Structure 1
Amino acid sequence: MAHVLVPTTGNPILEDGLLNDGHTVTLIVPANAVPTYRQRYPELSVFGVHSWDDLAELTALNYHLPEVDAVATNDEQCVVAAAHLRELRGLPGLSVADARCFTDKHLMLTRLAQAGIPVAPHRVVHHESEIAAAAEAIGWPVVVKPRSGMATVHTYRVGNPQELAQLRATGVFETPVEDTAHRFGASDLLGALNGARGGYLVQACIDVVEECFVDLYLFEGERLLAAPGRYHKPIMLSMGGGHRHWTVLSPDLPETIAVVDLVHRAVTALGSHTGVHHVEVLRDRSGKLWLGEAAARTGGGIYQAYGLQYAMDVPHVLAQLALGVRPDIDQLTPHYPALTTLALAPAPGIVRHFTSADDLRALPAVVDVDLTLTIGQPVPRGFGSMPGGGRILIRPRATDPGTVLADVEELLAVLALDIALALAKV
């Protein structure tokens, strides 16, 4: 059995996989979350940090940490911190330089472009007053977003100078985002764009007709498993709220083969050869594929679907990868040709009614249900593009977007979700 150091902020999939396999785990968490983690894992050693980006603090903390066999994380905020601790200890894994390319969008896009991977051009700005000039140089419309971020937080599509003026008038570039997920106590991800360390991005907005994703599992460069799929609409068009759905597809479909190949090239260019990677790919109106963003982690809310699709123990596989063990997943065959996840994002208010999880599970198409709704209680708040109402997984009748949408609409009718909408503040 091994001892693994795991920097983490919320999703316990890796640490739970290691513990289930009988390994010893030491956790590093945001300092303000240490009491919560010590209560959740009373048998573990838990250390706190005030900033994942402060490598000097991590270096000082390293002297107090135990000897371990590996340092690993499945958390985007912690990828650079984990790499730094590995380098201090001479352990294998993603380097700090490569880790930064998976977490800093400017470095990511620059390296991908140098490798010949199609990416939208961008500029770095440091204040909202610089956005218009950058947009003129790139061409309107543009997307404004942080260099490091997740769940589309602080991400805005700006069509022209008038829209920019309207957006600036709201103060969004000067206002931090509320930590509704309670995961960002040691992160700068939610801070205001203006004044952000290293600035933020103005990127050309691709005329997207389809946004795809792939969770790609590699071991020493070998492709073990690719779980591709598509969002029901491009994420930038889903930011107004409402329920979302996405479908995990077979990697052998004509529409997914080129997407998976592009993702493999991109991950290799970013410097990773072992681990799981979540990558988004955009398809424009001409059919051209563009690499959107890449992350050295599982796709949030996506790994549950392909875990069921392949009867794959994802936490166990992540534990094996963390320890440099080749998972035996390249021979897995899908139990379902496709699985669609309906992520519920009701409008704010009090839940009055919904069909029970047990009744939903009894439906022929339903594979899994995980609801966070309670009758008589407020709708749970989501975070960015991550809905807060829970998920329902179904087998779609076919994989074309029209059929999937019809299946989702039928499911929503059966769900019969009723919300007493919250009154607007005056």
Structure 2
Amino acid sequence: MTLLLLNRRPLLDRLASWFPDCAEELVVVTDPSALGDAGPARWSGRFRHLAVVDDYTGRATEELVERLVREHAVERILTTAETDVLRAARLRHRLGLPGQDEASALAYRDKHVMKTLAGAAGVPVAPMRLLHSGAELRDFAGEHGLPVVVKAVDGVACLGQRVLTDPAALRDLDGGWPAPLLAEAWIEGETFHVDGVMAAGRVLFGRPSRYLHSQWLTHRASAPLVSGMLAEDDPLFGRLQRAVGEVVRALPAPSQACAFHAEFFRTAEDRIVLCEIACRAGGGSIVEAFELATGLNLHGASLRGQAGRELALPAPGEVVRHGYATWFPPVAPATLRGLPAHCPLPGVVKYAPSGRIGHRYHGPDSPSHRVADLFFRLTDGEPTTQLREIERWWAAQARWDFGDGVAAPAAEAERA
């Protein structure tokens, strides 16, 4: 069987372990950023065919894929990235290939479609409305109050998202209306994510984790992205497992196994409310932390599932709970003056500082614009205490200069 991989992730060195015959069966179409420093020459002869495309998201890439499918008699198209989900489904439809269809892909990409279907099946979701004008936004805010969250229906993480907290902010959007946007009522509460593998409307394997801070606070208020897996005897473990199972049943199912990443709120009234779900592995450090905990690489499992290959899933007793922390530059422009060389805290598996001392940063422009990563085993039953200890350690060690020549600790940077 010949397979085509649409790729923009740095995982080419792992493909041989997931597809031992990749030199004969794998056609790879990749963004240059996924190749690493060595460039295309490093991968010569490793795959049936390698195409490196500069305009990865452009129409020309789809035309190239169609040509390669015909030239190499490709039988399946595989993806790992959010931005490839819908276009791969369109390509499968045009080329008559099996795999996730357009209805399923749309339900996992378009948040309005997603939450309409989930809500109709009884899954709690935030009140929402598809917007075409500022007047519709003001009507929604009048009905549901402020804050109001406004986002693209197919956005990724919190990029481009706005939280409108006063009437003046509502008027700011009147100057121009790009495309239909989604308005949602603000949900106050703790945030969680569930990651794993699903197939045919069922969760095959999943693990719930707690975020210490919401992604919104990470990208807009300099909060670190810190997460830890829940213990199986935690009451929220079972509730979140059931919640994600209800969501997966409510949406049109991908026809083969694939990874998923779901996010939920837990409100002050103890309600579990869907934030969103994706039919791919979670971003950032989730895949690495999940593999440390379970031995299962979510990208590899998703690719093998899409290819119709057998999956070896871990037994629950084989899981060793892990967490991760990622630190980004402050929202305000700042120069990095100091960061810890190692982490002495209990349970640390890997600490990887990547920030450049003396470099001037201009905010966390993207999820990959990080200055340090930490992976650790969880030593307490409930992860919050350990997550906060890690947050305090970093805040006392990292130092930022905001322009006055004074190196402020990270704790002060977070308040800047």
User: Into which bin does the TM-score normalised by the smaller protein fall?
Assistant: 0.7 to 0.9
Distance 1:306 1:288 in 2: 26
1:324 corresponds to 2:319: no
Equivalent of 1:12 in 10, 13, 16: 10
Q: Which moved more, 1:143-152 or 1:87-96?
A: 87-96
User: Aligned runs of 1:65-84 on 2, under 5 Å?
Assistant: 65=69, 66-84=72-90
Report SS of the residue matched to 2:317: coil
Please report the RMSD computed on the Cα atoms of aligned residues, expressed in angstroms. 3.3
Per-residue CA deviation, residues 86-121 of structure 1 (Å, 9 max, x unaligned), is 223333321111101111111111221222221112
Letter of the structure 2 residue corresponding to residue 375 of structure 1: I
Q: 1:261 to 1:219 in 2, by over 3 A?
A: same
Gaps of 5+ in 1: 175-193
Letter of the structure 2 residue corresponding to residue 232 of structure 1: L
Gaps of 5+ in 2: 406-416
Equivalent of 2:352 in 367, 370, 377: 370
Letter of the structure 2 residue corresponding to residue 6 of structure 1: L
**1:98 corresponds to which residue?**
104
Equivalent of 2:281 in 289, 298, 306: 298
Q: 1:326 to 1:332 in 2, by over 3 A?
A: farther
User: Aligned runs of 1:143-158 on 2, under 5 Å?
Assistant: 143-158=149-164
Offset at residue 64 of structure 1 (A): 4.2
Offset at residue 316 of structure 1 (A): 3.5
How many residue pairs get aligned? The number is: 389
1:400 corresponds to 2:382: yes
Alpha-carbon contact 1:4-1:71 (below 8 Å) kept:
yes
Distance 2:77 2:307 in 1: 9
User: Aligned runs of 1:53-64 on 2, under 5 Å?
Assistant: 58=62, 61-64=65-68
User: Aligned runs of 1:225-304 on 2, under 5 Å?
Assistant: 225-238=205-218, 239-251=220-232, 253-273=234-254, 274-300=257-283, 301-304=285-288
**1:135 corresponds to which residue?**
141
Per-residue CA deviation, residues 342-397 of structure 1 (Å, 9 max, x unaligned), is 111233433333232xx43x654211223222334445963445651131012344
Alpha-carbon contact 1:4-1:26 (below 8 Å) kept:
yes
**1:333 corresponds to which residue?**
317
Per-residue CA deviation, residues 149-188 of structure 1 (Å, 9 max, x unaligned), is 11201111223323434x559x8xx6xxxxxxxxxxxxxx
1:382 corresponds to 2:364: yes
Equivalent of 1:46 in 51, 54, 62: 51
Per-residue CA deviation, residues 9-34 of structure 1 (Å, 9 max, x unaligned), is 3x234x54433333243233469999
Distance 2:377 2:298 in 1: 20
Distance 2:313 2:358 in 1: 43
**1:310 corresponds to which residue?**
294
Distance 1:304 1:94 in 2: 25
Q: 1:353 to 1:81 in 2, by over 3 A?
A: same
Alpha-carbon contact 2:193-2:261 (below 8 Å) kept:
yes
Distance 1:407 1:397 in 2: 12
Offset at residue 340 of structure 1 (A): 2.6
Alpha-carbon contact 1:215-1:279 (below 8 Å) kept:
yes
Q: 1:27 to 1:138 in 2, by over 3 A?
A: farther
Percent identical pairs in the alignment equals 24
Greater relative contact order (CA < 8 Å, ≥ 6 in sequence): 1
**2:409 corresponds to which residue?**
none
1:212 corresponds to 2:192: yes
Distance 2:64 2:289 in 1: 40
Report SS of the residue matched to 2:259: strand
Per-residue CA deviation, residues 225-254 of structure 1 (Å, 9 max, x unaligned), is 212111112333443223221112245532
Distance 1:109 1:46 in 2: 37
Distance 2:381 2:184 in 1: 31
**1:391 corresponds to which residue?**
373
Alpha-carbon contact 1:344-1:387 (below 8 Å) kept:
no
Alpha-carbon contact 1:342-1:392 (below 8 Å) kept:
yes
Alpha-carbon contact 2:197-2:302 (below 8 Å) kept:
no
Report SS of the residue matched to 1:333: helix
Q: 1:155 to 1:95 in 2, by over 3 A?
A: same
Q: TM-score, normalised by structure 2?
A: 0.81
Q: 1:6 to 1:159 in 2, by over 3 A?
A: same
Report SS of the residue matched to 1:341: strand
Distance 2:201 2:107 in 1: 18
Q: Which moved more, 1:368-377 or 1:261-270?
A: 368-377
Per-residue CA deviation, residues 246-278 of structure 1 (Å, 9 max, x unaligned), is 112245532121111111221232222521110
Q: TM-score, normalised by structure 1?
A: 0.80
